[in-house]
Amino acid sequence: MNYKLLGRSGLKVSELCLGTMGFGTEAGWGADKDTSFAILDAFTKAGGNFLDAANIYKLGTSEKIIGEYMSNHDRDYFVVATKYSLKDNISNPNASGNNRKNMMRSVEESLKRLKTDFIDVLYLHIWDDLTPIDEVLRGLDDLIRQGKVNYAAISDTPAWMIAKGNTMAELMGWSQFIALQVEYSLLQRTPERDLIPMARHFGMTVTPWAPMGGGVLSGKYLRGEQGRVKAESNRRNDRSTKIAEAVVAVADELGVPASHVALQWTMSQGFSSIPIAGATKVSQLEENMKAVDVKLSAEHLQKLDEVSKIDLGFPGEFFREAAVKENVFGGFYARIEKRK
Ligand SMILES: NC(=O)c1ccc[n+]([C@@H]2O[C@H](COP(=O)([O-])OP(=O)(O)OC[C@H]3O[C@@H](n4cnc5c(N)ncnc54)[C@H](OP(=O)(O)O)[C@@H]3O)[C@@H](O)[C@H]2O)c1
């Protein structure tokens, strides 16, 4: 396993992050405690250190399993990311959302479940469309100054709001968001419109969630195997079937499992990306970790791009078309090396 720096920070994380949403058997799916421990054993044995959790996963069971595991291992080895925002088992108007009161309450509860006195990376989980972004950043910065959190990050939020927050944090001397968690895979490419260009601009690492489309891109449903994605789900339709078939075709040419191609694609798009791969069995995790060694050729990337590409919409399509095809910026455009 190699390591990458998480966004504009010196924090070293494994190039694959382990998603722990499936730790616990609540809601009729997932890995029991022993299997979760075995998944953590296999992940750390291979050099993985980056774990993705949330207060809400399996109603707190996921964090409890990680806490119990870490208390029997070296807590400092792990880079534990968790999230706040979604309501857990407490019911009052401020026990959910992005507000400061919920942030502080949720972090205290996460620290107890994780049996630790600090969280490495705290994500805002989902934008509530209510809380001022300066309230969020100031709260995160206070937690960092208190030593309860080391780094701030954000998930499932509009690009313009994150851009406003990071700019404000820079001006105020507060800690900025260093990572962006979004659904991103060959099935879900709409973050390419604004979120990913925004993350590149701010030097944030993108941490794609559901990089295998919840398992659809492993090709298991094409083979008639069972899994948690229901047949009537929007991840299993004509488009996703065509994409999964293309992933399987590329994987067959390379002689690797389809999951490797799906995961590696999210890491081969020219920006800093650490996919969060979920696993409910040790064998899945062991297979997925080898995805980091796969090399996709330009032809493979093109084939996968063609079957999955999306309309970038306005103004992306408009200015890219105009700049490249219509040459509206004069003859120099093609000769300028763009800032990375
Ligand atoms: N920020 C957010 O809003 C958000 C939302 C969702 C998830 N997440 C994070 O992202 C992580 C990953 O998301 P995800 O679990 O939905 O998506 P995923 O990683 O695309 O899919 C994982 C699922 O695919 C199946 N699978 C994994 N490896 C496989 C393999 N090698 N062969 C066959 N099947 C395989 C398993 O499902 P079966 O049990 O069906 O076999 C597994 O639970 C979560 O654990 C969580 O940490 C974040």
What is the per-residue pLDDT across 25-74, written as a single tens digit (0 to 9) for each? 999 999 999 999 999 999 999 999 999 999 999 999 999 999 999 999 99
333 belongs to the catalytic site:
no
Distance of CA 158 to the CA centre of its chain: 15
Residue 120 has pLDDT above 80, yes or no: yes
Identified catalytic residue from 57, 69, 84, 151: 57
The pick from 16, 20, 21, 80 for probing ligand 1's pocket by mutation, whose C-beta has the most ligand atoms within 8 angstroms, reads 21
What separation in Å is there between the alpha carbon of 119 and the centre of ligand 1? 22
Residue 82 has pLDDT above 90, yes or no: yes
Residue 240 has pLDDT above 80, yes or no: yes
Structural domains of the chain in order of their starting residue, each with its CATH number: 3-309 (3.20.20.100), 310-340 (no CATH)
Q: Average pLDDT of 179-207?
A: 98
User: Six-digit token pair at 184?
Assistant: 């991103």
CB 51 within 8 A of CB 18: yes
CB 320 within 8 A of CB 327: no
Q: What is the distance between the alpha carbons of residues 201 and 339, in angstroms, rounded to a whole number?
A: 10
Q: What is the distance between the alpha carbons of residues 137 and 176, in angstroms, rounded to a whole number?
A: 8
- Closest residue by Cα to atom 9, ligand 1, is 209
Q: Work out whether strand 12-14 and strand 205-209 pair parallel, antiparallel, or are unpaired.
A: unpaired
Q: Look at residues 234, 192, 190 and name the one whose alpha carbon lies nearest to residue 214.
A: 234
- Closest residue by Cα to atom 5, ligand 1, is 209
Phi-psi group of 297: left, alpha or beta (phi > 0 → left; psi -120 to 50 → alpha; rest → beta) = beta
- Closest residue by Cα to atom 47, ligand 1, is 19
- Closest residue by Cα to atom 8, ligand 1, is 209
CB 35 within 8 A of CB 280: yes
Q: 331 or 229: whose pLDDT is higher? A: 229
What per-residue confidence (pLDDT) applies to 66?
Answer: 98
Q: Average pLDDT of 284-307?
A: 98
What separation in Å is there between the alpha carbon of 135 and the centre of ligand 1? 31
What per-residue confidence (pLDDT) applies to 259?
Answer: 98
Ligand 1 site, CB within 6 A: 19-22, 52, 155-156, 181, 209-215, 218, 220, 227-228, 259, 276-280, 284, 287-288
CA 239 to each of CA 180, 217, 290: distance values in angstroms, whole numbers, following the listed order: 26, 12, 27
pTM of the complete model? 0.96
What separation in Å is there between the alpha carbon of 281 and the centre of ligand 1? 11
Q: What is the distance between the alpha carbons of residues 180 and 195, in angstroms, rounded to a whole number?
A: 8
pLDDT bracket for residue 327 (50, 70, 90): confident
Q: What is the distance between the alpha carbons of residues 111 and 143, in angstroms, rounded to a whole number?
A: 12
User: Six-digit token pair at 101?
Assistant: 């009161």
What per-residue confidence (pLDDT) applies to 287?
Answer: 97
Tell me the HSE value of 265 on the side-chain side, using a 13 A CA sphere: 33
The pick from 50, 125, 154, 218 for probing ligand 1's pocket by mutation, whose C-beta has the most ligand atoms within 8 angstroms, reads 218
pLDDT bracket for residue 107 (50, 70, 90): very high
CB 166 within 8 A of CB 151: no
What per-residue confidence (pLDDT) applies to 320?
Answer: 79
What per-residue confidence (pLDDT) applies to 90?
Answer: 77
What per-residue confidence (pLDDT) applies to 340?
Answer: 64
What separation in Å is there between the alpha carbon of 210 and the centre of ligand 1? 5
Share of the chain above pLDDT 90, in %: 89
Backbone angles phi, psi at 278, to 5 degrees: -90, 155
Average pLDDT of the residues of the chain: 95
